[in-house]
Amino acid sequence: MSTSTDAHHAHGHADDGGVHVHVSSVPFYIAVFLGLLVLTGMTVGQSYVDLGKLNIVIVVLIATMKASLVVTFFMHLRWDNKFNALIFISTIFFIGIFFAYTLHDTDRRGELDPDQNVKVWQKNGERAPGGMEE
């Protein structure tokens, strides 16, 4: 659909100083929108099937596919200055760090054992790391 665009874009910014932008066609935008609708249908359909722990993985995967379509084509990152894409990708990277470090902590605190007043692992009753004691 957009095969010839790179050739045009390869000119980059001519030195006349005017703004040169890539213009996608109307059918192309509508195709992206239809793709988004299909993915929405998939995620709603999936919600009726319980896949246990896999649920959240699929949900986030489909949402990320939708987000990628919006960012790449509706928000023009595909044809934009690469530095803007770098800003976006590094944002996602730092959000990833935020998630990983926080959940790494909060998911490993164990449950409070009221008899001992310490945090223990539910599965084996052993002391969980961290906490306020000592």
Partner 1 sequence: MSTDVVTPEPAAGGAHGAGHGVGHHGPKWLAHHFETPTQQFDAAKLGMWAFLAQELLFFSGLFVAYGVYRNWYPEMFKAAAHQLNKEMGATNTVVLLFSSLTIALAVRSAQVGNRKLTGRLILTTIACACMFLVIKFFEYKHKFEGGLLPGRFFHPHAEHLVHGAPALPENTGTFFGIYFMMTGVHGVHVLIGIGVLVWIWIRNNRGDFSKEYFTPVDIVALYWHLVDLVWIYLFPLLYLI
Nearest to partner 1 of 32, 118 (CB atom): 32
**Residue 122 or 134: which CB sits closer to partner 1?**
122
Q: How far is the CB of 54 from partner 1 (least distance, A)?
A: 13
Give the separation between CA 115 and CA 124, rounded to whole angstroms.
16
Distance of closest approach, residue 8 Cβ to partner 1, in angstroms: 4
- DSSP classification of residue 128: P
Q: What is the per-residue DSSP string for 60-115?
A: HHHHHHHHHHIIIIIT-TTTS-HHHHHHHHHHHHHHHHHHHHHHHHHTTS-EEETT
Of residues 104 and 134, the one with the C-beta less far from partner 1: 104
> Site residues (CB under 8 A) for partner 1?
1-2, 4-5, 8-9, 13-14, 16-30, 32-33, 36-37, 40, 43-44, 46-47, 55, 59-60, 62-63, 66-67, 70-71, 73-76, 80-81, 83-84, 87-88, 90-92, 94-95, 98-99, 102-103, 106-107
CA dist., res. 6 & res. 25, Å (int): 15
